[in-house]
Every structure is written in structure tokens, then in C-alpha cells.
Amino acid sequence: MNTNLLLPYKFRKWGWVIFIPSFILGVLVLFLNVQFDWLGSKVFSIYAGSGLKILNDRDTGQFFSIISGNYTQTFVGVLCLVSLMMIAFSKEKTEDEFILLTRMDSLLWATYINYFILIFCFLFFFDFEFLYIMIFNMFTILIFFIFRFNYILYKERKNMPYEK
């Protein structure tokens, strides 16, 4: 694995600093429908549709247009994704072969678990509930990876004999 693609170690700390408040904001936005007025503006959109074409016979959407609305959900989602990527893809203080192997193994494990859960959800969730599942699915692969990677490192450090 090429470590040149990993972010510097200090990004991990900043990732946690950004993730914790953005996660709390995400919970507030999702469950309490919190909106921030200062995030209401006009933005460029590649496609602004009026809903799913299957549900709506007339497609009144527009390509390459300026739309207005409140983008609190977008802002919080981008913050969460960027912070999780900073945490997941930052180097450790000492990058050795064990860390690289653990990183690769954890990423593979997280991908398997994430897609098994997604297959389960494809079979048992429908309509807009499934849309929520897909939104959560953007974050879960990174969360599973971070959890597993850090858990393996914690276990390994705990089992290491004390050395001076």
C-alpha cells in the first residue's frame, strides 16, 4: 500500500475536532429538523428536478440552473464525510508493515460488513425509509473502518510487552 496517499498524522486530530460537533449537528438536523438560516442561499445545481420521474409523469426539472433553499443537511453531511475521511486516511505516528496490513484488512472487513448490511436493507426496507438507509450508508463504511482499525491497534498495543 502506498503511504504517499495518506494524509499527515495531524489531520487525525483535526478530523475528530470537526467530526464530533458535525455528528451532533447531524443528529439534530436529522431527528429535530434543525435548520440554520445562514445556510439559506442560492446555489448552482447540475439538475434540479421536481421529484422522481417514475412518480411524476411530467419532468419539469432543469439542467444547469441556480436554485435557492436551505442547505443545512448538505453542510453537515459534507463536514461529517470530510472529517471521517481525515480520521480514516491519516497516517499513524509510526507507519510500519503491520499498520499497513491492519489498514488494508480493516478496510476490507468494513466493506464486507457494510455491503452485507446494505443487502439486508435492500431486502427489507422500501420507499423513503430505504433512502435514509442509503444516506447512512455513505458514512457507515468509514465508521466501521475507523472502529475496526483502532480496535485492532488498541488490542495489539495492549498485548505488547512493555519495552523501554
pLDDT digits (tens, 9 = 90+) for 112-158: 999 999 999 999 998 888 888 888 899 999 999 999 999 999 999 88
Look over the chain and give the mean of its residue pLDDT values, rounded to a whole number. 88
Shortest CA distance to 26 belongs to which of 113, 117, 143?
A: 143
Q: Which of 20-24, 67-71, 74-78 has the lowest mean pLDDT?
A: 67-71
Q: What is the mean pLDDT of residues 7-24?
A: 96
Does 51 or 72 have the greater pLDDT score?
72
pLDDT band at 51 (very low <50, low <70, confident <90, very high): low
Tell me what the mean pLDDT of segment 61-89 comes to.
90
Spatial distance between the Cα atoms of 39 and 73, rounded to a whole number of angstroms: 9
- Confidence (pLDDT) at 53: 57
pLDDT exceeds cutoff 60 at 52: no
Burial grade of 137 (CB within 10 A; 0-12, 13-18, 19 or more): middle
Per-residue pLDDT, 44: 81
pTM of the model: 0.84
State residue 11 phi and psi, 5-degree precision: -65, -25
**Closest by CA position to 32, among listed 87, 76, 81:** 76
